[in-house]
Amino acid sequence: MSPTIQPIYNLSGVSPTLNSMTDKLQTAEASPQFNYASNYGISQLRDLVTTNGGGTVLNSAETYQLSTSAASNDLAELQTAERGQFLNGAAFESGVNVQVPIPPTGTQRAEWGYSDNTNGAYFGQDSSGVYVALLQNGVETLKVYQSSWNIDTMDGTGSSRVTLDTTDGYLYQVRYNYTYGQVEFRIVAINPQLFQQAVTVHRFSPSSAALLKDANQNIRATVLNGTSGGAFSINVGGRYFTNLGSIYQTSRITSENRINATISSTTFTPTVSFRRKPFFPDNSTQVNSINLGTASFDILASADLEWEVRVNSVLTGASFGAVSRTPSSESSLQSDILATAMDPSQGVRVLGGLSLAGTIEGVTNVQVPFTLPGNGNVTLALRTLNNVSGNASVSLRLEEFW
């Protein structure tokens, strides 16, 4: 009997993009950074809402409704508080679910995608149709309507055979890979064979400069009705940002101390606060897009304490400036150690606890895995227990992802 000769299998005939130089399979695992469901209402910690005139942003416990009234020049906008984090060597994908119940007319317009109103890439629909666009330093530099999309026009004649109808609702995705790479627009839809399919519809290719001037963006949806007015609305579902591939984020820790602060027993006293600089790097007009996380803190006090980490508190007597003993160019933050009071009815407590007098063991390096939303502040506030005032020295640390 002749011996059986086993065939040799390798990846070189599959695709050069799927194998390494030694014929090992390469995959890109999705590494989500954030994923916001739409059925939990509007949250100060994850949602940034902007309205003008009769514009409203509501939540039905199923989707967000962004609406204008009949009056002209109304606006309603919903952004994620957290920005996507672009990492070299890994592509990213942002996604948002959007339904346009009734197409816009006149000067009505809706836009949704990966943008902070200064830079970004997004989908939109106006009275002329659906489009994809690119925003660079506040100027819409590219805008391509559906009939001119260069991959699949989604009019039933493209490779997907899908016909786009924004009244149905879809998942809209934006993908990006590297500084001088393409921006890719995709729409997840159900094809005629009743399979759910991610359809690439258009790609912007760079000519001599980066397409995304700042690749760290919010996921945003906006409706506005312009000068012709008229009631107009869209429904917005879940929003997410994910890196495609294993990631390692580069970060730094920024610290600020306050020594011997007088702590009251009747109300919480702010000790150390941080907020973003409006622009970063210094001496630039680039909107500060650095993602920030509350890293940890320490407390050493003469009395038993209750402590809170709060976001977006309204402070009295605050004076934000450069972080102590830190070169301004090396931090995207400003700090304050002068505030004397805060409004307890404003802001959100994200963590709270107790500290024993004269000991540091219980509150050393307390970890606070929390991302600072938008341009708000984060504050470590203290209050003594047992109707006894006291003094406290604290250190608050934030993590900057850059």
Q: What is the structure's pLDDT at 9? A: 46
Q: What is the structure's pLDDT at 274? A: 96
Instruction: Read off φ and ψ for residue 147, nearest 5 degrees.
Output: -65, -15
Q: What is the structure's pLDDT at 117? A: 92
> Going by C-beta distance under 8 Å and a sequence separation of 6 or more, which residues neighbour residue 220?
77, 78, 79, 80, 111, 112, 113, 114, 115, 116, 117, 120, 122
Q: What is the structure's pLDDT at 366? A: 61
Contact 270, 342 (CB under 8 A): yes
Q: What is the structure's pLDDT at 367? A: 60
Pure H helices in 309-363: none
Q: What is the structure's pLDDT at 77? A: 98
Q: What is the structure's pLDDT at 11? A: 46
Domains, in order of start, for the chain: 30-244 (2.60.120.200), 252-401 (2.60.120)
Residue linked to tokens 């690439």: 200
Give CA–CA dist 358/167, Å, rounded.
63
Neighbours of 26 (CB within 10 A): 10
Q: What is the structure's pLDDT at 20? A: 57
> Is cis: bond before 281, omega within 30 of 0?
yes
Work out the mean pLDDT of the chain and round it to a whole number.
Answer: 89
Give CA–CA dist 111/220, Å, rounded.
8
Contact 112, 222 (CB under 8 A): yes
Length reported for the chain = 402
Q: What is the structure's pLDDT at 248? A: 73
Contact 244, 91 (CB under 8 A): yes
Q: What is the structure's pLDDT at 5? A: 52
pLDDT < 70 stretches in the chain:
1-26, 359-370
Which candidate, 38, 28, 3, places its Cα nearest to that of 236?
38
Q: What is the structure's pLDDT at 48? A: 93
Q: What is the structure's pLDDT at 402? A: 87
Q: Which tokens in the block code for residue 88? A: 């070299």
Give CA–CA dist 372/46, Å, rounded.
9
Amino acid at 390: G
Q: What is the structure's pLDDT at 374? A: 75
Q: What is the structure's pLDDT at 16? A: 55
The three-class DSSP label of residue 330 is helix
Give CA–CA dist 401/390, Å, rounded.
36
Give CA–CA dist 4/347, Å, rounded.
74
Neighbours of 25 (CB within 10 A): 9
Give CA–CA dist 275/293, Å, rounded.
11
